[in-house]
Amino acid sequence: MKTKLPLMLAGVLSLALSPVYGQFGGAPQAPNFSGAMGKLFGQNQNFSANMEMETKTATGQTMTMPAKIAVLDGKSRFEMDMTQAKGASMPPQAAAQMKSMGMDKMIMISRPDKKLNYLIYPNLHAYAETPVTDPDAAKSANDFKVEMTEVGKETVAGHPCAKEKTVVTDNEGKTHDATIWAATDLHNFPVKIEQSEQGNVGAMFFSDIKLSKPDASLFEPPAGLTKYASPQALMQQEMMKRFSTGQGVPPRPPQQ
């Protein structure tokens, strides 16, 4: 059975905008860099980098989001400023509303080893835990095999790259397709990863790459933050604070 690696930016934007518009349709999931995604990085399982996520829809719209990423043995950490997101799926008023609520800065930590995700809002001095629901997150690297076929050579951001079609297959026979640009001057680190699904194209670009182990403390919630059992509980408390100060809640976006 053929599946796709997640179109990451769309998922991140949905997660970020849900507090603004009260859409709690399920537990948010931090992007997972273990399992099938981890196989795309070969021997580069520990690194930190700047990252830009880009999605081009079948209708020609483009969304972009810069982020910082750190990965350590399957654990991952994303730092984002949602006011930097650009594109049609980011309503003009959303960034201002998130900033006024203290929810513009966001850190997502994925801990497959603990079967937990952490959703951290530094400006609120708060975080919430959610369970990891991706079944692939619990699998070991030995449960996946990867086949790569070189289809050309290109230069990406100054790095000479082998452009490779990749197919990652798990122990249940599910396959995940992607195209990577492996930088030959960076131990074949994939400086660009691209995938397509139903006419939509998602890409991740990496820069300022450091191939050393990030500090383990980056993958724990900072000390001194208020812990909530769920993002819903965190948001309810923040809404109560807004009502108590007369700020109210942000309006819902107009219906399409």
Three-state SS string over 139-169 comes to CCHHHEEEEEEEEEEEEECCEEEEEEEEEEE
- By DSSP bridging, strand 189-197 and strand 175-183 are antiparallel
pLDDT of residue 251: 44
168 within a domain of the structure (yes/no): no
How far is residue 232's CA from residue 228's CA, in Å, rounded to a whole number? Answer: 9
How far is residue 103's CA from residue 225's CA, in Å, rounded to a whole number? Answer: 14
User: What is the DSSP secondary structure assignment for residue 71, as one 8-state letter?
Assistant: E
Give this prediction's pTM: 0.83
191 within a domain of the structure (yes/no): no
Domain, as residue range, for 14? 2-142+196-244
102 within a domain of the structure (yes/no): yes
**Which residues, listed in sequence order, are joined to residue 148 by a DSSP beta bridge?**
166
What's the length of the chain? 256
Q: Is the CB of residue 108 less than 8 Å from the CB of residue 117? A: yes
How far is residue 231's CA from residue 233's CA, in Å, rounded to a whole number? Answer: 5
181 within a domain of the structure (yes/no): no
Q: Is the CB of residue 210 less than 8 Å from the CB of residue 187? A: no
Mean pLDDT by 10 residues, the chain (256 residues): 51 57 48 79 94 86 90 92 81 77 88 90 92 74 89 97 94 89 97 87 93 96 92 82 60 41
The CATH number of whichever domain residue 100 belongs to comes to 2.50.20
pLDDT of residue 24: 41
The total number of structural domains that make up the chain? 1
